[in-house]
Amino acid sequence: MEFSQEQLEAFYRTMYTIRSFEEKINDLFLAGEIPGFVHLYIGEEAVATGVMANLRKTDYITSTHRGHGHTIAKGADLKRMMAEIFGKRTGYCRGKGGSMHIADFSIGMLGANGVVGGGFNLAVGAALAAKLMGTDQVAVCFFGDGASNRGTFHEGLNMAAVWKLPVVFVCENNQYASTTPYRTTTSVENIADRAIGYGIPGVVVDGNDVFAVYEAAQAAVERARSGGGPTLLEAKTYRIKGHFVGDPELYRTRQEVEEHLENDDPLKNFRRQVLAASRLSERELAEIEAQVREEIEEAVDFARKSPFPAPEELFEDLYVESGEAACGK
């Protein structure tokens, strides 16, 4: 497949933004500036980037607890994301959601989800709405290998398949469900093998290769958009960081992580390919990196300077009517 200069730059910009954003979150969390807990998308950047490059602004996605990458790739504003992760009023959720609940309906981002496997059927419903309204929107459901063992996976895939809904189920198999290695919790070689149980295509793709992800997602999105029904797309990738920041990672060796970083980091893979083919130069890549770093510093600055919500805002947005009385206290 041929990619334009513009596409290549966009791929790298998105992947590098996710990586830098997450590295910054890691540092800020360890420095005590971010409350709660955070799950980083580092290592999985090629999946969100390659899939989202096939989507329109009006297409929907449902995301996960590890959702910053999806949100960035769908086109969210870094400042409002960062402010939300800080718990600030200027954040996407006005400080009420935090890292695990960022949503931006204006770009079709229907929300990260704190419940593993909580998004399958929401994506099915969004696709059902598109079908009933006669639009050609597509819904993409991101989930991990761990979530594929939830009952919601089965109910969602079956319903989407039997109604031929425009959904693409994207499994990010990052080899670990929380702290448990894939092989200890799952009986099949590939999550995609389960597609046969629903009579839909099951596709395995190298999730550390943005070009491969792009191509596989393109076929799945086109199939969904043209009425062909859902696809189960499994991207084999690797969670370079722990389940959460601060995870002691007792379930794997440091060597395993180092080897992966050396040999199959999606950003390094991309650089190797575009440099070898002389499609982008070191200078061009460095320019993108500098711009991205500046944007992230601006986002951090915005988050730091933003106010926290006031206690009086507690009942706002609980029900569509506002005010405590309407909340049926």
Partner 1 sequence: MRELTYAEAVREALRLEMRRDPSVFILGEDVGKFGGCFGVTGDLWQEFGEDRVRDTPISETAIIGAAVGAAATGMRPVPEIMFCDFLTVCMDQLVNQAAKMRYMFGGKAKIPMVVRAPVGGGISAAAQHSQSLEAWFTHVPGLKVVMPSTPADAKGLLIASIRDDNPVMFFEHKLLYPVKGEVPEGEYVVPLGKADVKREGSDVTVVATSLMVMKALEAAEKLAAEGVSVEVVDPRTLVPLDEETILASVKKTGRVVIAHEAVTRSGFGAEIAAIIAEKALDYLDAPIKRVGAKPAPVPFAGVLEKYVLPGTDDIVAAVKEII
Can you tell me which of 14, 148, 152, 208 binds partner 1, judged by CB under 8 A? 152
Give the nearest distance from C-beta 53 to partner 1 in angstroms: 22
Can you tell me which of 158, 179, 185, 218 binds partner 1, judged by CB under 8 A? 158
Site for partner 1 in 91-150 (CB under 8 A): 91-97, 101, 103-105, 110-111, 113-115, 118, 120-130, 132-133, 139
Q: Would you give the DSSP letter of residue 109?
A: B
Q: What are 248's two structure tokens?
A: 């002691």
Give the nearest distance from C-beta 155 to partner 1 in angstroms: 4
Contact predicate 138/104, CB 8 Å: no
* Residue whose CB is less far from partner 1, 101 or 293: 101
Number of residues that bind partner 1 (CB under 8 A): 49
Site for partner 1 in 288-317 (CB under 8 A): 316-317
Measured distance CA(87)–CA(84) in Å, rounded: 5
What single letter denotes the amino acid at residue 240? I
Give the nearest distance from C-beta 165 to partner 1 in angstroms: 9
* Residue whose CB is less far from partner 1, 76 or 285: 76
> Which of 190-194's residues contact partners 24+ apart within 8 Å by CB, and which partners?
190/234, 191/145, 191/148, 191/232, 191/234, 192/232, 192/233, 192/234, 194/148, 194/157, 194/232
Measured distance CA(288)–CA(79) in Å, rounded: 18
- The CA–CA distances, whole Å, from 97 to 90, 110, 121 equal 12, 13, 21
Give the nearest distance from C-beta 213 to partner 1 in angstroms: 24
- What's the gap between Cα 149 and its chain centre? 19
* Residue whose CB is less far from partner 1, 121 or 174: 121
Can you tell me which of 151, 183, 253, 312 binds partner 1, judged by CB under 8 A? 151
Stretch 46-75: interaction string toward partner 1, x if CB under 8 A:
--------------x-x-------------
At which residue do the structure tokens 């996407």 appear? 92
Measured distance CA(161)–CA(228) in Å, rounded: 10
Q: Name the residues that contact partner 1, by CB under 8 A.
A: 60, 62, 91-97, 101, 103-105, 110-111, 113-115, 118, 120-130, 132-133, 139, 151-152, 155-156, 158-159, 162, 316-320, 325-328
